Homo-oligomer: A and B are copies of this chain.
C-alpha cells in the first residue's frame, strides 16, 4: 500500500469492549470468557479463557466454543474498524476447519478483515492454543452490515 495513505482510524480494545458490553450486557452473565486483547486497523486478537463450558471430556476444546470465538473476534474487528455502526452487523456465513485437537488451554483468535464493503465484510481467523505456534483451526466469515439509512 502507498505510504501516503493516512492510517485507518480504529477503536482500541478498550473502546470495542465498552461498546459490546453496552449493547449486550447479558453476554458476561456467567463470567467474562472472551477478552479482546488487541485491535488494529483491520485486525483483532481475542482470547477465550478456558472454563467448564468450552472444554470437552478428555481435555480438549469444543468445536462450538471455537466457532463462537471465531465469530466474536470478527465482530470485534468490525466494531474496531467501523465503531458503533457495526453493532447491528450479523453473521451471514462462517466456515470453520478444525486442523488439530487443541489441548485444554486458552484459545487465541487472530482475525484479519480482508474486505469491508458497504454491505458485506469478509474476514479470516486463525485460532491458536495459548503459547502454541501451530494453527488449531481456521475460519472465514462474511458479515452483513446494516444499511446506513437503517441506522437513523
Contacts and interface: CB of A to CB of B under 8 A. Distances in A.
Interface string A133-151: 1110010101000000000
A84 interface: no
Contacts of A94: 63, 67, 95-96
A64 B57 contact: no
Interface in A42-94: 56-57, 63-64, 67-68, 71, 90-94
Contact of A138 (B96, B120, B122): B122
A124 interface: yes
Interface of A: 1, 23-24, 26, 56-57, 63-64, 67-68, 71, 90-101, 114-115, 119-120, 122, 124, 133-135, 138, 140, 142
